[in-house]
Amino acid sequence: FLACKTTERKREAAEAEFKCSLDRLRTDHFDLYQLHSITSVENDVDPVFVKGGVMDMLLEARKAGQVRFLGFSAHSTEAACAAMDRYDFDSILFPINFAAYYEGSFGPAVLAKAQEKGLARLALKAMAKQQWTEGDPNRSRYAKCWYEPLAGPVETELALRWTLSQPVTAAVSPGEESLFRMAVEIASRFTPITQVEEAKLKALARTLKPIFREA
């Protein structure tokens, strides 16, 4: 299953990037192609939906057999909901993190709308703890993480199991190798989160600075 994405908002640049990605990956199609990092309605959603724009290009590619499914990743509730209102996407890639969900109210509305509309729901940032504290010496240890990850095995397992217990289709593991291996190991013995465990995560969330908050 081959997925790719674009941050381009104008057709010409998006088209060139699309063709370049096909060449680099030595393929003639993508199983999933995504509009990446939809954050602002004005700067991201509106531009790609103009007549003859990026979305029209992707629909043409889909008709030509170069794309099977169309999706998007988002980092704001407003933009995610606006995108879902404008087109029946196949999937959404969105942060579903216990601290952002409970302490930042970030995720419930998008998850509910995506579920209602039948999108595949791909969860991001399940193993994130909070924003990095300035000068944190552990930052160099996790060079690929722009956020502070959960490092303790107990809390990490609870966080990932919490995300997998939500109405999601799948969770995307971190890019940091050590965390990736931990995620695979935890997922291989997954059991749904319990009410007692959920209460522990809610208490932990109250002590953190979530990586996302609802505006």
User: Per residue in 15-49, pLDDT tens?
Assistant: 999 999 999 999 999 999 999 999 999 999 999 99
pLDDT at 151: 81
Average pLDDT, rounded, for the chain: 96
Nearest by Cα to 3 from 119, 65, 25, 38: 25
Bigger pLDDT: 140 or 55?
A: 55
- What is the spatial distance between Cα 127 and Cα 92, in angstroms, rounded to a whole number? 18
pLDDT at 144: 87
> Quick check: 215 pLDDT over 80?
no
- What is the spatial distance between Cα 29 and Cα 32, in angstroms, rounded to a whole number? 9
Q: What is the pLDDT of residues 99-152, one digit of tens each?
A: 999 999 999 999 999 999 999 999 999 999 999 998 898 888 898 899 999 988
pLDDT at 48: 97
pLDDT at 16: 98
Residue 101 CB burial class (10 angstroms; 0-12, 13-18, ≥19)? buried
Tell me what the mean pLDDT of segment 141-165 comes to: 94
pLDDT at 185: 96
pLDDT at 143: 86
